Amino acid sequence: MTMEKAFLTISSTIFGSENDATNMQSPPPRQFQPEKQISERDSIIVDMLNSPGHEDVSFCVCDPDLADCPIIYVSSAFCTFTGYDHTEIEGKNCRFLQGPETEKSDVDRIRAAIKSEVATNVNLLNYKKDGTKFINEFFISPLRDENQKLLYFIGVQVEVPKQGPGQAPSNPGWVYTVGNHS
């Protein structure tokens, strides 16, 4: 009997079946399930981010109808990226990633986009849970219903190694929301 077969035999005895033991190895990735009815176009964005092959995309969803526009969902990749568990993040405003060296002008640009309900992309200095600084290429876009009423904001984060003139955007957020910039 191979070691793997022995493990599965013992595990199936403990957990009930070989299938159960195999499934215990990795929990399914977290997925965003909107409570509000978003438009078909924005549903495509959410479905794409939830689909296999996109588990490494760091994103969060905020609800502008709640006080202080808190994060209501973070992807597993966001947690890995920042070092926080989703339970430490959800319910907070994204400001918790800011620190003493975060440029006010970058934050103001994000606030202006939120106030105007439009998409924007900005490179800003953020901080991980352990205090490590990183340049966050942050893309934010509104998610709307079929009548164009704002329901959520989705933010996609990519760590960039440096910030400088002529740097090409590496954030896939703009791809996910193509045509959603009005």
How far is residue 27 from each of residues 30, 90, 92, 98, measured CA to CA in Å? 9, 20, 25, 31
pLDDT of res. 54: 76
Residue spans of the domains in the chain: they are 1-28, 31-176
Of 121, 126, 129, 119, the C-alpha closest to 153 is: 119
Question: Does residue 113 contact residue 122 with C-beta atoms inside 8 Å?
Answer: no
- Residue 148: pLDDT band (50, 70, 90) is very high
Which positions ≥6 away from 89 have C-beta within 8 Å? 60, 71, 74, 78, 79, 82, 96
Between 74 and 33, the higher pLDDT residue? 74
Question: Does residue 135 contact residue 170 with C-beta atoms inside 8 Å?
Answer: no
Distance (Å, whole) CA 38 – CA 15: 39
- Residue 11: pLDDT band (50, 70, 90) is very low
Which pTM value belongs to this model?
Answer: 0.72
Between 4 and 44, the higher pLDDT residue? 44
pLDDT exceeds 60 at position 41: yes
Question: Does residue 85 contact residue 96 with C-beta atoms inside 8 Å?
Answer: no
Per-residue model confidence as pLDDT tens digits over 73-118: 888 889 998 999 999 999 999 999 999 999 999 999 999 999 999 9
Q: How far is CA 132 from the centre of its chain?
A: 19
Which positions ≥6 away from 106 have C-beta within 8 Å? 122, 123, 124, 125
Q: Which amino acid is at 159?
A: E
pLDDT of res. 31: 67
How far is residue 32 from each of residues 47, 82, 147, 178, 182, measured CA to CA in Å? 9, 18, 21, 19, 23
- The average confidence (pLDDT) of the chain is 78
CATH class of 31-176: alpha beta
